[in-house]
């Protein structure tokens, strides 16, 4: 666990700062890019942590840090087992070669990829966030697993998603549990961050609920 008394900043801010320091002190492994993988089950707080980490890294480097959310690259609710070749082809391969990643994001409201092409530069730091991100851990400078107990996570996810998607959400929980267990993400992650609380907070307010950080590297 990270001791919070070493900083006057709030515990969550201190811990995000520690993650940023770990990224910037580590070597680039995806070409010239320091890749950060933020993985974990739905409702754990990945997006909130990623936003705070991107801000901290941007302030430290003086440059915006691009974020790719894997929800943009999923082809619907049932694509978790089959999406990775698309991530490799559209994001990892070009960035590894020092080229920008270009893709159209999945539009969940209509169920297909559409809209303008998103261009993600091969920057000094890139964060990939979402279930499955740790599949790139061999080339990551830092891999983080964000988790919470199932009751807390499921409550958060149900409040975030529309009631009409809850049947698909249950299928998604099944697939993500299989992936996380089969890939051994908890054992392979450099940091495991737990965001449990007795009562799930409003979506977007997860950082103050960080209760533990485990170091694996």
Q: Please report, for the domain that includes residue 145, its CATH number.
A: 3.40.50
Residue 53 lies inside a defined structural domain of this protein = yes
Residue 115 lies inside a defined structural domain of this protein = no
- Is the separation of the CB atoms in 143 and 189 below 8 Å? yes
- pLDDT for 1 equals 28
Residue 163 lies inside a defined structural domain of this protein = yes
Q: What is the mean pLDDT of the chain?
A: 85
Question: 144 φ, ψ to 5°?
Answer: -120, 130
In degrees, rounded to 5, the angle at the alpha carbon of residue 204 between the alpha carbons of residues 199 and 205 is 50
- pLDDT for 167 equals 84
- Average pLDDT of the segment spanning 175-189: 91
Assigned token pair, 103: 């893709």
- pLDDT for 161 equals 66
- pLDDT for 88 equals 98
Q: E strands within the chain?
A: 34-39, 67-69, 101-103, 106-107, 112-113, 118-120, 125-129, 140-147, 191-194, 212-215
Residue 98 lies inside a defined structural domain of this protein = no
pLDDT top residue among 202 and 91: 91
pLDDT top residue among 197 and 42: 42
- pLDDT for 159 equals 78
How many Cα neighbours within 13 Å face the side chain of 7?
13
pLDDT confidence bin for 74, thresholds 50/70/90: very high
Structural domain range at position 181? 4-68+123-215
pLDDT confidence bin for 217, thresholds 50/70/90: low
Residue 161 lies inside a defined structural domain of this protein = yes
How many structural domains are present in the chain?
Answer: 1
Residue 193 lies inside a defined structural domain of this protein = yes
- Average pLDDT of the segment spanning 171-200: 83
pLDDT top residue among 162 and 213: 162
pLDDT in tens, 128-155: 999 999 999 999 999 999 998 888 888 8
- CB-CB neighbours of 9 under 10 Å: 12
Residue 131 lies inside a defined structural domain of this protein = yes
Residue 170 lies inside a defined structural domain of this protein = yes
């Amino acid at each position: 666990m990270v001791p919070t008394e070493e900083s006057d900043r709030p515990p969550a801010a201190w811990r995000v700062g520690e993650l940023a320091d770990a990224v910037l002190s580590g070597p680039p492994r995806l070409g010239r890019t320091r890749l950060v993988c933020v993985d974990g089950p739905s409702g754990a707080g990945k997006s909130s942590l990623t936003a705070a980490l991107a801000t901290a890294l941007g302030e430290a480097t003086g440059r915006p840090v691009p974020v790719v959310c894997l929800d943009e690259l999923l082809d619907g609710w049932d694509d978790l087992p089959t999406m990775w070749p698309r991530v490799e082809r559209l994001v990892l391969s070009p960035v590894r070669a020092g080229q920008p990643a270009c893709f159209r994001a999945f539009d969940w409201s209509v169920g297909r990829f559409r809209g303008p092409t998103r261009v993600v530069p091969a920057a000094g730091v890139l964060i990939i966030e979402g279930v499955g991100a740790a599949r790139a851990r061999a080339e990551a400078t830092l891999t983080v697993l964000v988790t919470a107990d199932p009751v807390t996570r499921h409550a958060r996810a149900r409040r975030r998603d529309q009631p009409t998607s809850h049947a698909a959400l249950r299928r998604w929980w099944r697939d993500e549990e299989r992936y996380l267990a089969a890939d051994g993400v908890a054992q392979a992650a450099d940091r495991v961050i737990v965001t449990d609380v007795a009562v799930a907070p409003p979506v977007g307010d997860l950082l103050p609920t960080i209760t533990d950080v485990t170091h694996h590297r």
